[in-house]
Amino acid sequence: MFEGLLQPMHLIIVLAIVLLLFGPKKLPELSKGLGQAIRGFKQALHEESDSGEKKSVEKEKEKE
C-alpha cells in the first residue's frame, strides 16, 4: 500500500507544496518548532523510563 512512498520525486513534490503553502519565511520557524517538539518528546520518554526504573527498584526494596 505504501510502497515507494518515500521516492525522491514524491519528496520533492511534497516539499514544493509545503513551500507554496507556508512560504520561505515560515519554513525555518516550522522546522525549528518541529525539532523542539521532537526533542521534548524524546526527553519525556527518557524521563519516564528513568522514573519507571526507580519505581521498580523502590518496590524491590520494600519487599525485602
What pTM was estimated for this model as a whole?
0.52
Cα-based torsion angle of the residue sequence 57, 59, 63, 64 in order, rounded to the nearest 10 degrees: 30
Expressed as residue numbers, the domain containing 37 is 25-64
Residue 53 domain flag: yes
**Interval 16-44 mean pLDDT:** 91
Is the pLDDT assigned to residue 63 strictly greater than 70? no
Binning pLDDT at 50, 70 and 90, where does residue 46 land?
confident
Whole-number Å distance between alpha carbons of 42 and 34: 12
Is the pLDDT assigned to residue 27 strictly greater than 80? yes
Residue 50 domain flag: yes
Binning pLDDT at 50, 70 and 90, where does residue 16 land?
very high
> Per the structure, how many domains does the chain have?
1
